[in-house]
């Protein structure tokens, strides 16, 4: 079959600037005629796909997923791609898409997701472009695409019927081969190469139990296959395991607020040994043991400290990287293991070069993102499986492993306070006033805390030497405690102010306290330093994670 390419005249839409992780907008914005088309064409115009390129397309199943996939396929056909690989039913988790890009040598991929943001006709949609290494496009690429959106005057598309996304197999679309692939198979096979499935299965057979909340989002099919079918966990271990277009009306964000049912289950009388959840697009993870929540920052450190117990990492790690707001717990592990460690800006795209260059093996973010060099995205189920592998070998409760870890490395008490849907002008005023005040902070006292240094975090990539300025404001206190402030780059309503709070207790210190008690002085200092209530009228955060 062949169909003529239609060149459609268009005019730019304002605001198509990708944020921390792709372009995210309300569905009503994305559904405007030409909106998705303009953005996709701008990516195609600037991303540089060589002749005969393969493009991977998949999403988290949210409202608009199938519609935009059909558009993207028709536009790929009109823009000279040779082949599109698309997940069955339009489903590919973000880490699975990253793997598929790498495995089949694609020139890139379109991941349709707004991750942990809610879905449905009145909620959010998103498009992210990933490059040939499987990772999120670096800033130079997203900036070029954005610049193109400002001048775009036409897009290319073919006029063909919708393709059947539900049946595995190949279809010709105006000369483009569209291959609908199993969403799970390649990813599950990769996991089998990294982890000791036999040891985990044996542990399950010996009575180890878990509960996994897929939050009605993309991880359900992956978790059913891997946890229940391959590892032998009882049917019903995976909860909310069918991806829904509106995630059942919930935020698919695995934290204390949105996954509270899981928290209740893990702190109840008959708790299983292990509890976990993932987010909308499957790249985040929440880790709980019986009666204990493991902060993502601690999880990163504990996974790094024990990673060699998994076959995929038995040769040791090359280095550890974390985003700036993530606690320094992983740094302590790197120091103890004699490994290099890196502090990057927020967003997985900043880990790509370190992973490609073999400088880091494990990376993590405080926002429940952990991953390794097996793909170029954070990977929720990967973190769950590494935990399961470690627990199957070490045969101790999560709480005991955590206690042992803190006794060896000290403990970084940590929390993030989010102030959501703040008027943008007010949030900007807070940040700019604070930026101006940073220089005068060193030496100042806030209760028992004395400021050691204060700055606006800037990053120079050690591989390509690109620089990224204004990546968050941080105030470091004497003794290793700190507070950092950032504006979110993933929201779609006003501004979200994130306040990151961390207190370090060294070995021999108070390692078994409650986090809010340990952070109380820093919370007070954060308010004094930034004037959150004065600027926003808010006296407490909307979400504490
Ligand atoms: C948030 C997190 C960040 C994460 C990003 C994408 O960004 O803080 O760590 O990389 O979401 O994650 P921001 O700019 O809102 O703070 V996901 O799971 O949305 O792809
Ligand atoms: Co996500």
Residue 220 beta carbon below 6 angstroms from any ligand 1 atom:
no
Q: In terms of DSSP bridges, do strands 210-213 and 274-278 run parallel, antiparallel, or are they unpaired?
A: parallel
Selected catalytic residue, list 115, 271, 299, 367: 115
Pocket flag, ligand 1, residue 117 (CB < 6 Å): no
Q: How far is CA 509 from the centre of its chain?
A: 32
Hey, which of 282, 473, 484, 490 would you mutate to test ligand 1's pocket, going by the most ligand atoms within 8 Å of its Cβ?
490
Strand spans (E) along 290-355 = 292-294, 320-323, 341-344
Q: Which domain holds residue 421?
A: 411-544
- CA nearest to 293, candidates 307, 305, 280, 276: 276
- Helices 139-149 and 35-47 meet at what angle, rounded to 10? 130
Distance 76 CA to ligand 1 centre (A): 28
Are the C-beta atoms of 191 and 226 separated by less than 8 Å? yes
Q: How far apart are CA 467 and CA 465, in angstroms?
A: 6
Q: Kindly give the confidence (pLDDT) of every residue in the chain, 545 residues in length, as a single tens digit, with 9 standing for 90 and above.
A: 457 899 999 999 999 999 988 999 999 999 999 999 999 999 999 998 888 999 999 999 999 999 999 999 999 999 999 999 999 999 999 999 999 999 999 999 999 999 999 999 999 999 999 999 999 999 899 999 999 999 999 999 999 999 999 999 999 999 999 999 999 999 999 999 999 999 999 999 999 999 999 999 999 999 999 999 999 999 999 999 999 999 999 999 999 889 999 999 999 889 999 999 999 999 999 999 999 999 999 999 999 999 999 999 999 999 999 999 999 999 999 999 999 999 999 999 999 999 999 999 999 999 999 999 999 999 999 999 999 999 999 999 999 999 999 999 999 999 999 999 999 999 999 999 999 999 999 999 999 999 999 999 999 999 999 999 999 999 999 999 999 999 998 888 899 999 999 999 999 999 999 999 999 999 999 999 999 999 999 999 999 99
Question: Which residue among 138, 299, 369 is best mutated to probe the pocket of ligand 1, counting the most ligand atoms within 8 A of its Cβ?
Answer: 369
Number of domains composing the chain? 3
Cβ(337)–Cβ(318) below 8 Å: no
Angle at 505 between CA 501 and CA 507, to 5 degrees: 155
Neighbouring C-beta atoms of residue 105, cutoff 10 Å: 9
Residues 245 and 170 in one domain: no
The half-sphere exposure of 143 on its side-chain side, counting CA atoms within 13 A, is 4
Pairing of strands 320-323, 341-344: parallel
Contact between residue 392 and residue 308 where contact means Cβ atoms under 8 Å apart: no
Looking up tokens 């990224």 gives 468
Nearest ligand 1 atom to alpha carbon 498: 16
Contact 47, 108 (CB under 8 A): yes
The residues pairing with 326 across neighbouring beta strands, listed in sequence order, are none
Predicted pLDDT at 491: 81
Last residue of a domain, one of 375, 393, 409: 409
116 Cα to the center of ligand 1, angstroms: 9
Q: Which helix (H) or strand (E) holds 436?
A: helix 424-437
Give catalytic status of residue 327 as yes or no. no
Q: Which of 157, 183, 209 is the last residue of a domain?
A: 183
Instruction: Establish whether residue 34 lines the binding site of ligand 1, counting it when its CB lies within 6 angstroms of any ligand atom.
Output: no
Does residue 191 share a domain with residue 168?
A: no
Q: Which of 499, 490, 485 lies closest to 456 in space, CA to CA?
A: 485
Separation CA 112–CA 90 (nearest Å): 9
Separation of alpha carbons 329 and 414, rounded Å: 10
Nearest listed ligand to the Cα of residue 20: 1
Give yes or no for a contact between 333 and 412, defined as CB atoms under 8 angstroms apart.
Answer: no
Q: How far is the CA of 95 from the centre of ligand 2 (A)?
A: 9
Which among 377, 394, 409 is the end of a domain? 409
Element housing 413 (H / E): strand 411-422
Q: Are residues 15 and 163 in the same domain?
A: yes
Ligand 1 touching residue 479 (CB < 6 A): no
List the CATH number of the domain containing 308: 3.40.120.10
d(CA 284, CA 339): 25
Helices 398-409, 380-394: inter-axial angle, 10-degree rounding:
90
Q: Count CB neighbours of 229 within 10 A.
A: 13
Closest residue to atom 3 of ligand 1, CA basis: 347
Neighbour tally for 50: CB within 10 Å: 9
Claim to verify: residue 177 and residue 200 sit in the same structural domain:
no
Same domain, yes or no: 122 and 227: no
Residue 503 has phi, psi (to 5 degrees) of -130, 125
Paired strand residues for 285: 278
Q: Measuring from atom 18 of ligand 1, which residue has the nearest CA?
A: 115
- The finding on whether 369 has its CB within 6 A of some atom of ligand 1 is yes
Strand pairing report for 362-365 and 23-26: unpaired
- Centre of ligand 1 to C-alpha 342, Å, is 18
Q: Is 124 in the pocket of ligand 1 (CB under 6 A)?
A: no
Distance (Å) from CA 14 to ligand 2 centroid: 25
Query: Residues 195, 156: one domain?
Result: no
346 lines ligand 1 (CB under 6 A): yes
Q: Which residues is 423 bridged to in the sheet?
A: none
Report the nearest atom of ligand 1 relative to the CA of 491: 15
Q: What are the strands, taking DSSP E only, across 236-327?
A: 238-239, 274-278, 285-289, 292-294, 320-323
Which of 139, 215, 347 has the most ligand 1 atoms within 8 A of CB, as the residue to mutate?
A: 347
Q: Is the CB of 283 under 6 A from ligand 1?
A: yes
Expressed in angstroms and rounded, the spacing between residue 63 Cα and the centre of ligand 1 is 20
Same domain (yes/no): 143, 163 = yes
Shortest-distance atom of ligand 1 to CA 128: 20
Structure tokens at 49: 């796909």
Do 374 and 426 sit in the same domain of this protein?
no
The residue whose CA is least distant from atom 1 of ligand 1 is: 490
Regarding whether 378 and 328 lie in a shared domain, the answer is yes
**For residue 477, what is the enclosing H or E element?**
strand 473-477
CATH for 522: 3.30.310.50
Ligand found nearest the CA of 126: 1
| 378 and 471 inside one domain | no
Ligand 2 is an ion; its neighbours by CB within 5 Å are 115, 279, 281, 283-284
| 208 and 108 in a common domain | no
Phi-psi region of 483 (alpha: psi -120 to 50; beta: other; left: phi over 0): beta
Statement to judge: residues 196 and 328 lie in one domain: yes
* Residue whose structure tokens are 């959501």: 420
- Residue owning tokens 């040769």: 315
In this prediction, residue 1 carries a pLDDT of 44
The C-alpha angle 406, 409, 413, rounded to 5 degrees, equals 55
Q: Please identify which residue in the block is written with the tokens 């120091």.
A: 335
Report the nearest-CA residue for atom 10 of ligand 1. 347
| 3-state SS assignment for residue 363 | strand
Residue 482 burial class via C-beta count within 10 angstroms: exposed 0-12, middle 13-18, buried 19 and up: buried
HSE, side-chain direction, 13 A CA sphere, residue 37: 23
- What's the CA-to-centroid distance between 130 and ligand 2, angstroms? 14
């Amino acid at each position: 079959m062949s169909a003529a390419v239609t060149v459609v005249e268009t005019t730019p839409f304002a605001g198509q600037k990708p944020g921390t992780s792709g372009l995210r907008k309300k569905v009503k914005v994305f559904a405007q005629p030409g909106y998705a088309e303009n953005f996709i064409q701008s990516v195609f115009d600037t991303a540089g796909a060589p002749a005969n390129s393969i493009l991977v397309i998949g999403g988290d199943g949210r409202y608009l997923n199938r519609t935009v996939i059909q558009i993207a396929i028709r536009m790929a056909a009109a823009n000279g791609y040779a082949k599109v690989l698309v997940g069955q039913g339009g489903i590919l988790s973000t880490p699975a898409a990253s793997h598929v890009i790498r495995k089949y040598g694609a020139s890139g991929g379109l991941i349709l997701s707004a991750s942990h943001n809610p879905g449905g006709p009145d909620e959010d949609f998103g498009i992210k472009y990933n490059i040939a290494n499987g990772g999120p496009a670096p800033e130079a690429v997203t900036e070029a695409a954005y610049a193109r959106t400002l001048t775009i005057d036409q897009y290319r598309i073919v006029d063909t019927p919708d393709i059947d996304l539900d049946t595995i197999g190949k279809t010709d679309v105006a000369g483009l081969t569209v291959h609908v692939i199993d969403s799970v198979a390649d990813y599950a096979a990769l996991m089998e190469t990294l982890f000791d499935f036999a040891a985990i299965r044996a542990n399950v057979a010996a009575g180890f139990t878990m509960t996994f909340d897929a939050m009605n989002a993309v991880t359900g099919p992956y978790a059913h296959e891997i946890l229940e079918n391959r590892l032998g966990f009882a049917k019903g271990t995976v909860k909310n395991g069918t991806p829904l277009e509106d995630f059942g009306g919930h935020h698919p964000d695995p934290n204390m607020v949105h996954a509270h049912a899981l928290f209740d289950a893990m702190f109840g009388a008959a708790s299983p040994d292990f509890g976990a959840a993932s987010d909308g697009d499957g790249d985040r993870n929440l880790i709980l043991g019986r009666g204990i929540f493991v902060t993502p920052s601690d999880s990163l450190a504990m996974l790094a400290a024990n990673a060699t117990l998994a076959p995929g990492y038995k040769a040791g790690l090359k280095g550890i990287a974390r985003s700036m707001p993530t606690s320094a717990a992983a740094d302590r592990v790197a120091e103890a293991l004699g490994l290099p460690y890196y502090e990057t800006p927020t967003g997985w795209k900043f880990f790509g070069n370190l992973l490609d260059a073999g400088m880091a093996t494990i990376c993590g973010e405080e926002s429940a993102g952990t991953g390794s060099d097996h793909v170029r995205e954070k990977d929720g189920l990967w973190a769950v499986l590494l935990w399961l592998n470690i627990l199957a070998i070490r045969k101790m409760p999560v709480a005991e492993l955590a206690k042992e870890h803190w006794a060896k490395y000290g403990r970084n008490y940590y929390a993030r306070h989010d102030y959501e849907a703040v008027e943008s002008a007010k949030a900007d005023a807070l940040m700019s006033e604070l930026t101006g005040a940073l220089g005068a902070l060193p030496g100042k006292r806030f209760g028992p805390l004395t400021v050691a240094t204060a700055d606006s975090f800037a990053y120079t990539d050690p591989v390509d030497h690109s620089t990224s300025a204004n990546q968050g404001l941080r105030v470091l206190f004497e003794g290793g405690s700190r507070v950092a402030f950032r504006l979110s780059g993933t929201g779609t309503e006003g501004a979200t102010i994130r306040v990151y709070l961390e207190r370090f207790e060294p070995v021999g210190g108070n390692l078994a306290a409650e986090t809010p008690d340990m952070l109380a002085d820093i919370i007070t200092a954060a308010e004094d330093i930034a004037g959150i209530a004065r600027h926003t009228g808010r006296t407490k955060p909307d979400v504490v994670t």
